[in-house]
Amino acid sequence: MYSAYFLMSDEDVKKYVQAKIKDFSGELQCREIGDGNLNYVFRVTNEAGASVIVKQAGPQARISESFVLSTDRNRIETEALMLEAEYTPDLVPKVLLFDQTMSCCVMEDLKDFEIMRKDLMAFHTFNHFSENISTFMAENLIRTTDFLMNPVKKKQLQKQFINPELCEITEHLVYTEPYIDFKKQNMLTEGNEEFIRDFVYNDKEMHLKVAKLKQQFLTQGQALLHGDLHTGSIFINQKTLKVIDPEFAFYGPIGYDVGNLVANLTFSWLRALAFNEVDYGNWVENVLVETMEKFELKARAILQESIEQFAIYEEVVEGFLSSILRDTFAIAGLEINRRIIGLAKVADITTIEDKEARILAERRGLSIAKECIKNDTISSISEYLQLLLKYKGEVLI
């Protein structure tokens, strides 16, 4: 029926689902609900009110036709979801169908969930979050390392998830442009231009640290990462959460995923501060501590099942965990910087309408980020928390 790829319209999607999905052969409703930049997301509802999601990769980014991306990312996303479902079946949407020709997949509709970033921006709290996200990270990250997976099988997975184009986006946006704006696409907030020029563009010592972290990102195939683990990639409600959108998945350094999460929670914290939401700021601090403590405990527990011969030594396991934590906070710094300086912003910060408050939030973030990147001693969540508290009161303007 579909022997060659084409970009589907609402009507095409209806026919597609009618033909392919059980209980969806009758009259259907279809609506494009995507708000991302790379893909088309359709909600298809049947007469009984049940619904599924069809996600199709477009041949170019939605913001710019000149930004062409391989539709193979849909294969990577779907295969990553299927692999994550082996380790954490309750924490990812169920895949119902994957169609390589059409670069699309059909999956469970997470109707009862909200994008977590929106909830955080409205200062909503979730008691289960640290428990569930720490499980998601520990299970998917640690179990795909050479400590838990036969290195032969791991290399086959690494091959399956070689992801040149989406990694390149990260290499540019996270690891280069915030420091060396070689494509001239950074967007500096009015009033912060000079501060950023001096504090970030001119800090050669920081650039040297970033250069090392970039080499790590380019070369270290430690675990199968989600690759884009921010609060906009998490669907949540009061009961549980689902991690979505692993199209950036590839074998990379574990600290990249964990550091992204830490950074994005930090944006919630900066926002709470900006809005003088003291209790909420405290809640975020607690979530950060609980998430990292639980992640560390769960990672350590999984590593007890290690197949690596040298893991008979406690020092090997502890050294591995320490290196993950050091990477985590350094990379959190990179993510904070790039969301403030670079092309892709976060709404937590951009929707702070008070100009002075936004400038202060950005400078607090950039100051935390700089210490994370330059200071190798930030290697535990308690040290990170001390850093947040240091900048809580400090006035930088």
Please list the residues that pair with 60 across neighbouring strands: 68
CB of 332 to a second copy, least distance (A): 20
By beta-carbon proximity to a second copy, the closer residue of 206 and 388 is: 206
Closest separation between CB of residue 255 and a second copy, Å? 13
Q: Which residues bind a second copy (CB under 8 A)?
A: 146, 151-156, 158-159, 162-165, 167-168, 171, 176, 179-180, 182, 204, 207-208, 210-212, 214-215, 218-222, 308-310, 312-313, 315-316, 319-320
The nearer residue to a second copy, 130 or 145, going by C-beta atoms, is 145
Q: Which one, 59 or 164, has the nearer CB to a second copy?
A: 164
Listed residue (141, 219, 142) closest to 175, CA to CA: 219
CA gyration radius, the chain: 21
Residue burial 258-293, b: 16+ Cβ < 10 Å; e: rest: bbbbbbbbbbbbbbbbbbebeebbebbbebbebbbe
Q: How far is the CB of 4 from a second copy (least distance, A)?
A: 24
Closer CB to a second copy, 111 or 153, in the complex? 153
Count of positions (residues) in the chain: 397
DSSP 93-154: PPEEEEETTTTEEEEE--TT-EEHHHHHHTT---TTHHHHHHHHHIIIIITTSTTTS-HHHH
- Cβ proximity to a second copy: between 1 and 152 the closer is 152
Q: How far is the CB of 375 from a second copy (least distance, A)?
A: 18
Which one, of 263, 291, 275, 282, lies nearest residue 369 by Cα? Answer: 263
In angstroms, give the least distance from the CB of 162 to a second copy. Answer: 4
Considering beta carbons, is residue 135 or 322 the nearer one to a second copy? Answer: 322
Q: Determine the Cα–Cα distance for residues 106 and 95; give it in Å rounded to an integer.
A: 6
Backbone angles phi, psi at 2, to 5 degrees: -125, 90
Round to whole Å and give the CA distance between 336 and 263. 6
Dist. CA 249–CA 146, nearest whole Å = 17
Measured from the CB of residue 374, what is the shortest distance to a second copy in angstroms?
A: 14
**CA quadruple 266, 267, 269, 274: dihedral, nearest 10:** 150
Give min distance, CB of 176 to a second copy, in A: 5
CA distance linking residue 217 with residue 230, whole number of Å? 17
Query: Going by DSSP bridges, is the β-strand pair 29-32/95-99 parallel, antiparallel, or unpaired?
Result: unpaired
Tell me how far, at minimum, the Cβ of 164 lies from a second copy, in Å: 4
Nearer to a second copy, 131 or 203 (CB): 203
- CB nearer to a second copy: pick between 67 and 313: 313
Short-list 236, 237, 238, 252, CA closest to 168: 252
- DSSP assignment, residue 233? G
Min CB(204)–a second copy separation in Å:
7
Smaller CB separation from a second copy, 181 or 383: 181
